């Protein structure tokens, strides 16, 4: 399964949070971005419990204010 985790950080911390997020097991990439969110992370996982751990690890990082997660819907749901 796949998800994007959208992160709001404290001012001046998006690059630090993005770098720390990339070190979390399951996170494949994380980027400081412009717009409503400060960092966007992409994660791959097998079980929803794994996603919960990834989110918990991100939320515990210094400089993270809050997160919002969107789970990728597999193409087979369309049928």
The model carries a pTM of 0.92
pLDDT at position 74: 83
pLDDT at position 79: 60
CA atoms within 13 A on the CB side of 14: 16
Question: For residue 18, which phi and psi values (nearest 5 degrees)?
Answer: -60, -45
Task: Name the band, by pLDDT with cuts 50, 70 and 90, for residue 15.
Answer: very high
Structural domain including 40 reads: 2-78
Structure tokens at 22: 């990339």
Under 8 Å between Cβ of 24 and 58: yes
Check which CATH number belongs to the domain holding 9 and give it: 3.30.70.920
Number of domains in the chain: 1
Task: Name the band, by pLDDT with cuts 50, 70 and 90, for residue 3.
Answer: very high
| Exposed/middle/buried for residue 78 (C-beta within 10 Å: 0-12, 13-18, 19+) | exposed
List, for residues 18-71, the tens digit of each pLDDT value.
Answer: 999 999 999 999 999 999 999 999 999 999 999 999 999 999 999 999 999 999
């Amino acid at each position: 399964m796949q998800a994007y985790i959208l992160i709001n950080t404290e001012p001046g911390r998006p690059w630090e949070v993005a770098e720390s997020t990339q070190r979390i097991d399951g996170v494949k990439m994380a980027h400081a971005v412009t717009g409503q969110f400060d960092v966007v992370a992409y994660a791959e996982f097998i079980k929803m419990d794994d996603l919960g751990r990834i989110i918990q690890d991100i939320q515990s990082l210094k400089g993270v204010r809050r997160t919002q997660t969107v789970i990728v819907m597999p193409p087979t749901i369309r049928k």
